[in-house]
Amino acid sequence: MPSIISISGVTKTYATGFKALKEINLDIERGEIFALLGPNGAGKTTLISIVCGIVNR
The whole model's pTM is what? Answer: 0.83
Q: What is the pLDDT of residues 22-45, one digit of tens each?
A: 999 999 999 999 999 999 999 999
Distance from C-alpha of 34 to C-alpha of 23, rounded to nearest angstrom: 19
pLDDT tops 80 at residue 56: no
Instruction: List the alpha helices (DSSP H) in 1-57.
Output: 44-52
Helices and strands of the chain, counted as H and E runs = 1, 2
pLDDT tops 70 at residue 47: yes
